[in-house]
Amino acid sequence: MKKKSVVNILLVLSSFVVSIMVSEVFLQVIKKPKHVYSGWLPRIAASEKNQLGFRGRKINYTDDDYVILLLGDSQVQAESCAFDWLPENRLEYHLNSKAGSMKKVKVFSIGAGGYGQDQQLQLLQIYYKTYRADMVVLWQTPGNDIWNNVFPTHWPRNGTPKPTFRLVDGELYGPSEEFLEELWWSKIKLFALANRMFGIINRDDLWEKYLPQPYKPLKDYEGKICNDWQERWDKNLGLMRDENLSTEKSHLAIHLTPVSQRMRYGLDLTKALLGKIQNLAATHKSLFVTFNTKKANENSEDCPGDTLVHLLNGKYYVTSTKQYDDSISFLNENLLSLTIPITMAEWRVGPENSHLNEHATDQVMEDLAVRMLPLIK
């Protein structure tokens, strides 16, 4: 190769490298694209934030107060409730107003939409650096919690990254990052821009190599079929088309029977995280309590019974109410756990929103308070 050709190649390479460096510096200066962090805080008005950034009153108490911390997800954030009717406010009101409460109770919240026990654990660690709690109460939403813990991103597919733990031979490892830690590729703006444009990094797909096999639907079935899932899919009711049953990143997955290897892993992982939260609470001399709500059977008249077969896009999925109940019992078998029935007929926020409305939230908090009173000492 002639000397002149080598020089030309070197000049081209040098120009390319300089262009990359200048572009990176420019993007760093203008701070674009935005930094990407693992985990999230809720987006709420500053006037409704407590000191840790969650929806609720300021965390203020005296030495004589009995302090309860309410952990959870969107049910605790309770966007459907007026600020004065947040779960923390109503639980505190009912505890203090019921006969038998020996101490003045203060209730505070840590909860945001999409939280699993992984982020709840990390936020509880942060809480304890500044505050105390005599009791930690975790509001479970089992239809969300399992896949929230299993996958490294938020809903629906490859969403907002979050800290995620792994279970290996029964041992808990992680998290993948600390809460609100900036992801490595976000610091390199050119790479972050390329990832934003072309989706180079797909955390869900990369994480699946650690996960066991998901549920396998039936290809054929002779018997009574429920078409409710297909009807929801056709109209995309409740964002049904985002229910990723092929990976079990779905609110429906905990109802599937028999339990898949992936669901068994998710249950074991969630149980390990709950145990970690319980141990953390015990270290700080807090009583740890979990509770979940139980709704009346919502199966339609066309699909009554415990075990059902749902047709969806040519595949058959078997669900069982007993399987759901057994999974919750497994998660809580070593915990102080309460189940609070929802007694209201109209408990939903709306036809496509299955969160508790304000009235149902108050009913659950009042009945929870009754069950909790004997625990306050």
pLDDT, tens digit (0-9, with 9 covering 90-100), for 234-270:
999 989 999 999 999 999 999 999 999 999 999 999 9
What's the pLDDT at 181? 96
**Closest by CA position to 304, among listed 228, 219, 222, 239:** 228
* Contact assessment for residue 313 and residue 243, using Cβ atoms and an 8 Å cutoff: no
Contacting residues for 226 by C-beta, under 8 A, at least 6 apart? 300, 302, 303, 308, 309, 310, 311
pTM summary value:
0.91
Rounded Cα distance, 159 and 175, in Å: 18
Cα of first residue to Cα of last residue in the chain, in angstroms, is: 87
Instruction: Please list the ranges in the chain whose pLDDT falls under 50.
Output: none
* Contact assessment for residue 291 and residue 340, using Cβ atoms and an 8 Å cutoff: yes
Q: What is the pLDDT of residues 167-196, one digit of tens each?
A: 999 999 999 999 999 998 787 766 556 666
Angle (nearest 5°) at CA 188 between 186 and 190: 105
Mean pLDDT of the chain: 91
What's the pLDDT at 303? 76
What's the pLDDT at 10? 63
Say which DSSP state 311 is in. E
What's the pLDDT at 6? 63
* Contact assessment for residue 198 and residue 31, using Cβ atoms and an 8 Å cutoff: no
What's the pLDDT at 201? 79
